[in-house]
Amino acid sequence: MQGVGFRPAVYRIARALELSGVVYNDTKGVTIELQGREEKIAEFLVRLRSNADKPPLAEIKSCDLVELPVIEAEDKFTIQTSDSQGSPLSQVTADIATCRDCLAEMVDEEDFRYGYPFINCTNCGPRYSIVKNIPYDRPNTTMSVFKMCDKCAAQYTEVTDRRFHAQPVACGECGPSIRLTDNKGKTIETQTENVIAETAHLLSDGKIAAIKGIGGFHLAADALNNKAVERLRERKKRDHKPFAMMADSIEKIKKYAIVSESAEQLLKSPQSPIVLLPKKPNSTIASSAAEGVSTYGFMLCYAPLHYLLFEQLKKCGIDVLVMTSGNISDEPLICKNDLALERLGDVADAFLMHDREIYRQVDDSIVHFVDEQPVLLRRARGYVPTPLIIEENCEREIFAGGADLKNTFCFAKQNQFICSEHIGDLEDAEVYHHYINSIEHLRILFEVEPKVVAYDLHPGYLSTQHALSLESSKLIGIQHHWAHIASILAEYGLSGPVIGLAADGTGYGTDGAIWGCECMIASLEKFERFGHLAYYQLAGADKASKEAVRPALSLLQKAYGSKFTLQKFDWLLKRIEPDIKRLRIISEQLEKGVNCVETSSLGRVFDAAAAMLGLGSYNHFDAQLPMALEATAAAGVEDRYELETFWPPGEPYRFVLDKTIRQIVDDVQNQVDTGIISAKFHNTISEILLGFAVICRSETNLNTVALSGGVFCNRYLINRLIKQLRQNDFSVLFNREVPSNDGGISVGQAAIAANIYTVS
Ligand SMILES: [Zn+2]
Ligand SMILES: [Zn+2]
């Protein structure tokens, strides 16, 4: 990658070891020619890889050594600034959290960037969010409007300087500045120190501030002030999602959440994601900040402005801020000043803005831990556009459209998959618009000319309709869960076959049913549906993923057959849907099969179970009910419910939940503790998935299991299943670099399409 300070580092090491030669970039990477004593060259290679000498953002993926004849003795080492900028893929890097060197300078009164909210260097600062075009050079970024002063320019042009070719380099003399306005855009304050002090003051007063950061605006409130947090939630509208929070030190986060050593490393990493951490009991964080979940999403400050703000917040007695995405409900993150005022004027009381334009909005990334390893739930700032490297080159360039929920899209070019940042749910018109624009921007930025388009089979998906409109390309429809499993194969550089277990909410099946609990024998070439959860009916397709009464009623009717009456289950159903008239309509729909679809969705079974336990009856956001169910599950429970199976000759193996549902109803009626029912339910689902793997292995001799799908965001389920699979001598693969939810679909689609066009 360019722009990470690699050549200057090579220069420094070579000079220190008195080696002569040259370093330069070309389209393939970095070439270093060295002349000197053999042991010094050996030492050079060691130091090049050591963390002390290597720039923090550089990663050496491979290194080839060739011996050259000495033609003439050289006496110096030089950096050759090549004309070639390298391939577009190697130029644009991700946005990186402020580094320690810059932070030290920012608090040093002697430094000319003392207290400057936009300090950055080659090792940190914005990249992807400010680049308009390639080559990645200052005129092609939103920094082009700022003319470097002499001091900044001197650092920018000095090869040995930490700011050599750092495109966003700036200082208080020449660079961007901040201002504070009211919610109408009227300027309150422009002097840097006062802007920050006044913002801190407003926040300590319980006010809400919109703060422009690296990838967009945040809406900020004092996380310990319940009234302020509730007001923020009300004003954001229909937003029930847990709010992310920010602190300026690990110690502060540890007051409210349990931070493991690996979580601490991740929080402090250059990517600086939101990390989901178990809540501490008796935490004083406002309860409305994160209800119905067992974790807090915390991040550390990652922009210089954040640090300066927290310095002032300390004086006002504020520890932690809610820092949630600056948008209304499910609309795209807002990154432009005028749009922020227009859309968030009713949400925020004040706006802390700056004049460094954000060209692409990039959300905060979210990471949690599975099997004690970091796993991305939302891949965006800090991770995008870092490509996934594949072993073989694609003969044709590919566009993969992704899925409609938690959308990302992906390009395949040469030996790389370039996956977009989290785009959002395409059903929102603004998000769809953003999707179409983003595809075009990244296509131009990375110089991709796709000849092949991969899309989901769901005919109702907007992403599918968009793909089908690209007529000049070769179109490849890919089944949703096959793409999920393929995303794992892509991550691990495998081609399969493996036993694929997909635990998911909704995915269109090849038989027109909605699939969601699948066991498939899958490779990049093909898949075979080995088993699935026995179908049940879902009434009112669109509403079924929101209203738990729909799967609940269906599963109950199926489990009790002719013994089911609404009256008999009135005690249970009224907590899910108090309106008896609606119950009757849905029940009749199910009996007559009107506007119903068959499904093996596992997500909807979680919805139904959560609703039967009285944990809510509506998904205000994706997986709200399943998350509530996971949060209640008691630890240390090994019991589970009984299962039935069904295997007609020549058809997929099936697990049937009828008995399970009847036993859950009995437990609810007998007032068994909710945490125990939830744990038993989770254990039962784990048993189904394990069962699929065991039977599939006995039929195929395959021993590797790949776990993907949105339901695997459930840590209780996936951790238990991984353990059980390993106890049964399976080798287990799960998503780490791309989300197991629908955010990973585009990578899976790209992998399957690329496999068809691989150059061997
Ligand atoms: Zn820095
Ligand atoms: Zn300057």
- pLDDT value of residue 542: 73
Q: How far is the C-alpha of 453 from the C-alpha of 401, rounded, in Å?
A: 7
Calculate what percentage of the chain has a pLDDT beyond 70: 97
Calculate what percentage of the chain has a pLDDT beyond 90: 80
- The larger pLDDT score, comparing residue 86 to residue 225, is at 225
Output the CA–CA distances (angstroms, integers) from residue 243 to 194, 295, 299, 430, in the order listed. Answer: 28, 11, 11, 22
Say if residue 317's pLDDT is above 90: yes
147 Cα: distance to centroid of ligand 2 (angstroms)? 8
Mean pLDDT of 317-323: 96
Say if residue 31's pLDDT is above 60: yes
Per-residue confidence at 609, pLDDT binned at 50, 70, 90? very high
Nearest ligand, CA of residue 150? Answer: 2
304 Cα: distance to centroid of ligand 2 (angstroms)? 16
- pLDDT value of residue 693: 98
Per-residue confidence at 86, pLDDT binned at 50, 70, 90? low
Average pLDDT in the chain: 93
81 Cα: distance to centroid of ligand 1 (angstroms)? 22
119 Cα: distance to centroid of ligand 2 (angstroms)? 10
176 Cα: distance to centroid of ligand 2 (angstroms)? 10
243 Cα: distance to centroid of ligand 1 (angstroms)? 28
553 Cα: distance to centroid of ligand 2 (angstroms)? 66
Mean pLDDT of 610-625: 93
Nearest ligand, CA of residue 170? Answer: 2
- pLDDT value of residue 551: 96
Query: What backbone torsions phi and psi does residue 460 show, to the nearest 5 degrees?
Result: -90, -10
Mean pLDDT of 14-21: 89
Residues 6+ apart with CB under 8 A from 376: 273, 365, 366, 367, 383, 735, 736, 737, 738, 739
In order, the DSSP letters of 289-357 are GSTT-SEEEEEE--SHHHHHHHHHHHHTT---EEEEESSSTTSPPP--HHHHHHHHTTT-SEEEEESS-
Q: Which of 33-37, 455-459, 542-546 has the lowest mean pLDDT?
A: 542-546
6 Cα: distance to centroid of ligand 2 (angstroms)? 23
105 Cα: distance to centroid of ligand 1 (angstroms)? 9
pLDDT in tens, 698-755: 999 999 999 999 999 999 999 999 999 999 999 999 999 999 999 999 999 999 999 9
Say if residue 85's pLDDT is above 60: no
- pLDDT value of residue 92: 84
172 Cα: distance to centroid of ligand 2 (angstroms)? 6
Nearest ligand, CA of residue 177? Answer: 2
Mean pLDDT of 544-564: 95
415 Cα: distance to centroid of ligand 1 (angstroms)? 30
Query: What backbone torsions phi and psi does residue 16 show, to the nearest 5 degrees?
Result: -65, -30
248 Cα: distance to centroid of ligand 1 (angstroms)? 17
- pLDDT value of residue 759: 63
Tell me how crowded residue 723 is: count the other CB atoms within 10 A of its CB: 14
120 Cα: distance to centroid of ligand 1 (angstroms)? 4
Q: What element of type H or E holds 388?
A: strand 388-389
Residue recorded with tokens 């900044």: 152
- Please tell me whether residue 470 adopts helix, strand or coil conformation: coil
- Quote the crossing angle between the two packed helices 715-727 and 624-632, to the nearest 10°: 60
- pLDDT value of residue 238: 60
Per-residue confidence at 570, pLDDT binned at 50, 70, 90? very high
173 Cα: distance to centroid of ligand 2 (angstroms)? 5
Strand partners, 477: 455
150 Cα: distance to centroid of ligand 2 (angstroms)? 7
91 Cα: distance to centroid of ligand 1 (angstroms)? 18
Residues 6+ apart with CB under 8 A from 463: 401, 402, 403, 404, 407, 409, 426, 435, 455, 456
127 Cα: distance to centroid of ligand 2 (angstroms)? 18
Output the CA–CA distances (angstroms, integers) from residue 11 to 19, 63, 135, 683, in the order listed. Answer: 9, 17, 23, 57
Q: Are the C-beta atoms of 502 and 508 separated by less than 8 Å? A: no
Based on the number of CB atoms within 10 Å of its own CB, is 722 exposed (0-12), middle (13-18) or buried (19 or more)? buried
Per-residue confidence at 81, pLDDT binned at 50, 70, 90? low
Residues 6+ apart with CB under 8 A from 482: 500, 520, 522, 527, 748, 752
169 Cα: distance to centroid of ligand 2 (angstroms)? 7
- Please tell me whether residue 503 adopts helix, strand or coil conformation: strand
Say if residue 567's pLDDT is above 70: yes
Residues in the 5 Å CB sphere of ion ligand 1: 99, 102, 121, 123-124
Say how many Å lie between the first and final Cα of the chain, rounded.
25
Nearest ligand, CA of residue 176? Answer: 2
164 Cα: distance to centroid of ligand 2 (angstroms)? 14
99 Cα: distance to centroid of ligand 1 (angstroms)? 4
162 Cα: distance to centroid of ligand 2 (angstroms)? 15
4 Cα: distance to centroid of ligand 1 (angstroms)? 11
305 Cα: distance to centroid of ligand 2 (angstroms)? 17
Mean pLDDT of 588-606: 94
33 Cα: distance to centroid of ligand 1 (angstroms)? 28
Q: Which of 72-81, 433-442, 461-470, 472-481 has the lowest mean pLDDT?
A: 72-81
166 Cα: distance to centroid of ligand 2 (angstroms)? 12
Q: How far is the C-alpha of 644 from the C-alpha of 663, rounded, in Å?
A: 13
pLDDT in tens, 149-203: 999 999 998 888 889 889 999 999 999 999 999 999 999 999 999 999 999 999 9
Nearest ligand, CA of residue 106? Answer: 1
Which amino acid is present at 100? R
- pLDDT value of residue 3: 64
Nearest ligand, CA of residue 154? Answer: 2
Mean pLDDT of 461-478: 92
- pLDDT value of residue 171: 97
- Quote the crossing angle between the two packed helices 38-49 and 6-16, to the nearest 10°: 140
Nearest ligand, CA of residue 121? Answer: 1
Mean pLDDT of 605-616: 96
111 Cα: distance to centroid of ligand 2 (angstroms)? 12
Q: Which of 81-90, 305-314, 558-567 has the lowest mean pLDDT?
A: 81-90
